[in-house]
Amino acid sequence: MRALSILLVLVLIAPIVNAQSLNEALQECPGTMIGSTQPTQIHLQATDDPTSMNVIWATTTRSTGEVEWNGQSASSSDYCYNHDMAFHMATMTDLVPGEEVTYRVGSGGTWSNDFSFTTIDPLSNYFEWISIADHGDSSEAMDVSDAIISDTSAQIVTISGDISYADGEQSTWDDWFNYQQESMSRIPWITGVGNHENEPGYEFTPYEHRFDSDGEIESETFWYSRNFPGVHMVFMSTEHDFNPGSAQYNWLEQDLSSVDRTITPFVIVYGHSPMYSSNSYHGSEIELRDAVENLYVEKGVDFVVAGHDHFYERTWPVNSQTVIDTGIEGKFARGQAPIHLVIGMAGRSAYEDLDEPQPEWSAYRENSTYGWTKWTYDGELREISFTFYRIDGTIGDEFRLQEASIIVESDDEFLGVPGFSSLLSILAMFGAAIQRFTRSQGPYYPTRMQESPV
């Protein structure tokens, strides 16, 4: 009888185990041998190919999975880890950039509702997206989620680590994904790892099974990049070795050197721990800054976006703690130095203690508000605009970064020279920049009035 029972299990399970061995499934997640095949936690994952899109979903029981879209279908890879949920990942291919796709996912003959998304055309002249960090499931975090869900123009969401704050309680991940599904099923959320993705008893295993960076299940790829209209985005890990000579550093150097600035003039690096932070709880990650700042400066990175400290802060374009530029009326020209952003105000308890006096490199900070950030790339103007929204809808901070140098127009005249005072202002700013540079002990950073080669 016992042998018959084992044989029956093998007969029932063998056809539905795909990409993960039967022995592995029985050992890691035996609770998934029974349950529902109703798809839940449905979320898109962007690939590095604009004509394809991955989709991941979960069921409470092991089953074969499938995605259907535009008259096509593809089978999923089905897998699990030490948690009573089974996961499925499938790839939609032959997509047309800029066109709407209708799809549904199914497992064991049970199908989801229809969902739709619009593929991203990498050559588009216009692109909007949202960035957050340090999210979780607090009431403030849900307010941020509701704002993201109601946003109909953003085409992706990025998260700079500390996503659900499961911290070993895996049902927290399930609840978090189900709440975000309304957004994640129509636009991809693209993630980097934070310290809270390294979970007690699990390490990075839940993150590896629930998100995708390379089209492989159970992926251990923690640094990768994606091209979007006008923007090359790099997702690095501050939780793994980033020092010169490490695998990650070598990859960062190679990736940043390969950017075609004629196609993606702007470069953003997303990570979790901040290189510049005047929050007293964690503050600046000096080891990280020492390791990669020279590389980011050399390769012309425009923005470095982090979280970890639960507040909002924007720096001036800065190199080696020296302010390189203060812009003109909230507008900056790219190529001066990276602007660093700490955006850890998406839902976790605020860190209100700040370093005083405010460092010279800190342009703006808020320590007791929550919200999200919205970005827009305008290809006609060749610029990026940025806005920090509080959860009450008010604007906390905003600025623009343009590819070209800034030209100040003025109607004033002196000795027959139009725009004389503006010329003096520019000369004064130039002189101040030279003085700051002379005082700096950092590496040489050339002032680029035009686009710099990488």
Provide the CATH topology of domain 126-439. Answer: Purple Acid Phosphatase; chain A, domain 2 (3.60.21)
Superfamily of domain 2-118: Purple acid phosphatase-like, N-terminal (2.60.40.380)
Which H, E and C letters describe 199-222, residue by residue?
ECCCECHHHHHHCCCCCCCCCCCC
Contact 146, 82 (CB under 8 A): no
Instruction: Taking the CA atoms of 2, 4, 5 and 6 in sequence, report the sign of the dihedral they define.
Output: positive
Measured distance CA(222)–CA(207) in Å, rounded: 10
Question: Is the predicted pLDDT of residue 425 greater than 80, yes or no?
Answer: no
pLDDT-derived band at 19, boundaries 50, 70, 90: low
The predicted-structure confidence for 267-303, as pLDDT tens digits, reads as follows 999 999 999 999 999 999 999 999 999 999 999 999 9
Give the pLDDT confidence score for residue 20 in this predicted structure: 60
Give the pLDDT confidence score for residue 26 in this predicted structure: 63
Measured distance CA(48)–CA(227) in Å, rounded: 7
Give the pLDDT confidence score for residue 25 in this predicted structure: 64
Question: Is the predicted pLDDT of residue 193 greater than 50, yes or no?
Answer: yes
Measured distance CA(347)–CA(165) in Å, rounded: 11
* Cα–Cα nearest to 253, from 225, 275, 273: 225
Residue 162 Ramachandran class (φ > 0 left, ψ -120 to 50 alpha, else beta)? left
Give the pLDDT confidence score for residue 422 in this predicted structure: 45
Task: Return residue ranges of the chain for CATH 3.60.21.10.
Answer: 126-439
Contact 148, 186 (CB under 8 A): no
* Cα–Cα nearest to 136, from 116, 107, 168, 165: 165
Residue 320 Ramachandran class (φ > 0 left, ψ -120 to 50 alpha, else beta)? left
Please, is 335 exposed, middle or buried when counting C-beta atoms within 10 Å of its C-beta (0-12, 13-18, 19+)?
buried
Mean pLDDT of 22-37: 72
Task: Return residue ranges of the chain for CATH 2.60.40.380.
Answer: 2-118
Measured distance CA(66)–CA(89) in Å, rounded: 9
Task: Give the Cβ contact number of residue 436 at 10 Å.
Answer: 15
pLDDT-derived band at 407, boundaries 50, 70, 90: confident
Give the pLDDT confidence score for residue 449 in this predicted structure: 31
The predicted-structure confidence for 67-116, as pLDDT tens digits, reads as follows 999 999 999 999 999 999 999 999 999 999 999 999 999 998 999 999 99
Which H, E and C letters describe 272-303, residue by residue?
CCCCCCCECCCCCCHHHHHHHHHHHHHCCCCE
Pairing between β-strand 65-69 and β-strand 303-306 as defined by DSSP bridges: unpaired
What SS3 state is found at 248? Answer: helix
Q: What is the DSSP letter of 354?
A: B
* Cα–Cα nearest to 344, from 44, 98, 144, 176: 144
pLDDT-derived band at 406, boundaries 50, 70, 90: confident
